[in-house]
Amino acid sequence: MPLVPMRAILQASYDAYKRKEPFAAGAYNVNNMEQIQGIMLAANKTRSPAIIQASRGALKYADMNYLKHLILAAVELNPGIPIAMHLDHGNSLDTVKKAIGLGFTSVMIDGSLMEDGKTASDYEYNVKVTKEVVGYAHGFGVTVEGELGTLGGIEDGVGSGKIHLTDPDQAVDFVKKTGVDALAVAIGTSHGAYKFKEEPKIAFDIIEKIRNNIPDVFLVSHGSSSVPPELVDTINKYGGNMKKTMGVPLESLKKAIKLGINKINVDTDGRLAVTGAIRKCFAENPDKFDPREYLGPARDALAKVIEERMNAFGTAGHVKDVKPVTLEEMKRVYRSRE
């Protein structure tokens, strides 16, 4: 199966929600080969579709071309798994154009922030830049995710550090004016490892109101890593110095899925698993110097975490529900809507 537009995967999630059998598609951030391999190990084991996403920080670190070909290798080696290649937190139309030119099948434009990725924008700016990206991306059949409201925390240099919850009524206007396929909503989650000092209060009422007001748009939850204490403990046991922190409990994410969330972003949990495995390997085997001997366990640790998320989000077993839509077919769909 070739790369699919992210819309195909999210449509399967939305259809399941309508059948009252909700599940969400996890979207997992990558920076290197081992992370991609770990995701695909989990996807094959659970028979889950996979959204592999790269942030601007990842693209700067690994270069768009390297990540593109690593993800295409995953597609070639896993023909039975629907895979979407997604740009996470694109900051401008120019960045989106580069990603689409390289074959990304889905892009996010984060118009809630200015191009620096740190300064909160105003509503008019968000509408303008998001509409421009939609107009361009849909011409290539590419799925577009926008964002309304801002999350707490900062990760990969992205974030204002301030929480501004999404206004459900404004969300209706935003979707009408921009035509986005998916909308990332601010519901009290937060970017980064140091999210909360106590269990977060997720605004489930906002999810419910937006889902009722905009039934045909896919909803996304960013900043949704759970930051399992056992992963933090492993890092600290083997020489780390992470302070006490809390993430978004899996039970909260499961409730959000029942209310209509279709896509859940996970990055920090994977970083913790990889770092813990590498620290453990070095501490127990100080003579090791072959990267394969510590990156291999790191890949396996990540695969375990992703497998747990795919099961928790209900993604497992839904490969069969994703229709293998092509970008060319989506181009015709978008043209017919116009």
Among all residues, which ones are annotated catalytic?
Answer: 88
For residue 174, which of 214, 222, 143, 115 has the smallest C-alpha distance? 214
Helix H, strand E, coil C: the string for 46-85 is HCCCEEEEEEHHHHHHHCHHHHHHHHHHHHHHCCCCCEEE
Which is it for the CA torsion 318, 320, 323, 324, positive or negative? positive
Half-sphere exposure of 288 (CA within 13 A, CB side): 17
Q: Where are the alpha helices (DSSP H) in the chain?
A: 6-18, 33-46, 56-62, 64-77, 93-101, 123-137, 168-178, 204-213, 229-237, 250-259, 268-284, 291-312, 327-337
Which is it for the CA torsion 136, 122, 262, 69, positive or negative? positive
Task: Write the DSSP assignment of 229-242 as a string of letters.
Answer: HHHHHHHHHTT--P
d(CA 256, CA 251): 9
Q: Token pair 């768009």 is at which residue?
A: 64
Half-sphere exposure of 184 (CA within 13 A, CB side): 30
Q: Mention every residue, 6+ apart, whose C-beta is less than 8 A from residue 48.
A: 26, 42, 81, 310, 315, 316, 317, 318, 319
Q: Mention every residue, 6+ apart, whose C-beta is less than 8 A from residue 123.
A: 170, 174
Q: Does residue 198 sit in helix, strand or coil?
A: coil
Q: Mention every residue, 6+ apart, whose C-beta is less than 8 A from residue 336.
A: none
For the record, the structure tokens of 52 come out as: 């592999």
